[in-house]
Structure 1
Amino acid sequence: MINSKLMGGTLLIAGTAVGAGMLAIPMVLAQFGLLWGTLLMLFIWLGTTYAALLLLEATLKSGGGLGMNSIARKTLGKGGQLLTNALLYALVVCLMIAYIVSAGDILQQLLNRFSIQISLLQSQIIFTGVSAFFIAQGTAMIDKLNRLLFFVMISALLLILIYLLPNMALDNILQVSNQNKIELIKNSAVLFTSFGFMVVIPSVVKYNQEATHKQLRNMVVIGSTIPLFCYLLWLYAVAGNLPLHQLVHFSNVSDLISILGKTHKNLEMFLSLFTSLAILTSFIGVSMSLFDQNRDLFEKNRFVTAVITFSLPMFGAIWAQDQFIGVLAYAGLILVFLAIFIPLAMVRQIRINKINVTYYQVCGGSLSLAVCFLFGLFLLVSQLI
Structure 2
Amino acid sequence: MKLFGSSLILAGTALGAGMLAIPMVLAQFGFFVSAGLMFVIFIGTTYATLLLAEACTKTQQSTSMSSTAYFTLGRKGMHFTNILFYLLLACLMIAYTIGIGDLLHSMLLEVGVDLSPVVGYTIFSLVMGLVVVAGKAYIDKLNRGLFILMIAMLFVVIFSLMNNIELANLSQESGFSVNDVVQYSAVIFTSFAAIIVIPSLVSYNQDASIAQIRNMVLLGCVIPLVCYLTWLFAVIGNLGVEAVSKFENISQLIAAFDGETDLLKSVVAIFSALALITSYLGVSMALYDQNKDAISKNPLIAYALTFILPLVLATLFANQFISMLDYAGMVLVFLAIWGPLAMAVKVRKPDFPQVGREQTYTVGGGQAALVATFMFGALIFVSWFMG
What is the TM-score with the length of structure 2 in the denominator?
0.92
2:30, 2:241 within 8 Å by CA — same for their partners in 1?
no
- Percent identical pairs in the alignment equals 45
Identify the residue that residue 364 of structure 1 maps to in structure 2: 365
Identify the residue that residue 66 of structure 1 maps to in structure 2: 63
2:200, 2:286 within 8 Å by CA — same for their partners in 1?
yes
Distance 1:310 1:252, change over 3 A: closer
2:55, 2:344 within 8 Å by CA — same for their partners in 1?
yes
Distance 1:171 1:118, change over 3 A: closer
Distance 1:298 1:377, change over 3 A: same
2:38 to 33, 38, 41: 41
Cα separation, 2, equivalents of 1:304 and 1:187: 37
Identify the residue that residue 124 of structure 1 maps to in structure 2: 121
Counterpart check, 1:338 vs 2:331: no
Deviates more, 1:194-203 or 1:23-32: 23-32
Cα separation, 1, equivalents of 2:238 and 2:17: 20
Unaligned runs of 5+ in 1: none
Identify the residue that residue 171 of structure 1 maps to in structure 2: 168
Deviates more, 1:57-66 or 1:41-50: 57-66
Deviates more, 1:234-243 or 1:364-373: 234-243
1:64, 1:209 within 8 Å by CA — same for their partners in 2?
no
Paired letter, 1:285: G
2:100, 2:273 within 8 Å by CA — same for their partners in 1?
yes
Cα separation, 2, equivalents of 1:122 and 1:33: 37
2:253 to 238, 256, 273: 256
1:58, 1:350 within 8 Å by CA — same for their partners in 2?
yes
Cα separation, 2, equivalents of 1:180 and 1:168: 27
2:326 to 325, 329, 338: 329
1:10-89 matches, within 5 Å, as 10-89=7-86
Distance 1:383 1:33, change over 3 A: same
What is the TM-score with the length of structure 1 in the denominator?
0.92
Secondary structure of 1:356's counterpart equals: coil
Deviates more, 1:21-30 or 1:64-73: 21-30
Deviates more, 1:32-41 or 1:320-329: 320-329
RMSD: 2.2
Paired letter, 1:373: F
Distance 1:263 1:45, change over 3 A: same
1:135 to 114, 132, 144: 132
Cα separation, 1, equivalents of 2:233 and 2:104: 30
Identify the residue that residue 298 of structure 1 maps to in structure 2: 295
How far residue 214 of structure 1 moved from its aligned partner, in angstroms, is 0.7
How far residue 328 of structure 1 moved from its aligned partner, in angstroms, is 4.0
Distance 1:31 1:96, change over 3 A: closer
Cα separation, 2, equivalents of 1:261 and 1:337: 41
Cα separation, 2, equivalents of 1:149 and 1:46: 27
Distance 1:14 1:30, change over 3 A: same
Cα separation, 1, equivalents of 2:309 and 2:152: 34
Cα separation, 1, equivalents of 2:77 and 2:44: 23
How far residue 211 of structure 1 moved from its aligned partner, in angstroms, is 0.5
Cα separation, 2, equivalents of 1:29 and 1:8: 30
Unaligned runs of 5+ in 2: none
Distance 1:64 1:215, change over 3 A: farther
How far residue 172 of structure 1 moved from its aligned partner, in angstroms, is 1.7
Identify the residue that residue 311 of structure 1 maps to in structure 2: 308
Deviates more, 1:108-117 or 1:280-289: 108-117
Paired letter, 2:329: G
Identify the residue that residue 196 of structure 2 maps to in structure 1: 199
1:186 to 183, 188, 205: 183
Paired letter, 1:124: Y
Cα separation, 2, equivalents of 1:324 and 1:237: 22
Deviates more, 1:61-70 or 1:28-37: 28-37
What is the aligned length?
A: 382
Deviates more, 1:114-123 or 1:192-201: 114-123
Deviates more, 1:176-185 or 1:333-342: 176-185
Cα separation, 2, equivalents of 1:11 and 1:375: 26
Distance 1:165 1:330, change over 3 A: same
Distance 1:233 1:209, change over 3 A: same
Cα separation, 2, equivalents of 1:251 and 1:354: 49
Distance 1:198 1:131, change over 3 A: same
Secondary structure of 1:193's counterpart equals: helix
Paired letter, 1:280: I
Secondary structure of 1:128's counterpart equals: helix
1:18, 1:282 within 8 Å by CA — same for their partners in 2?
yes
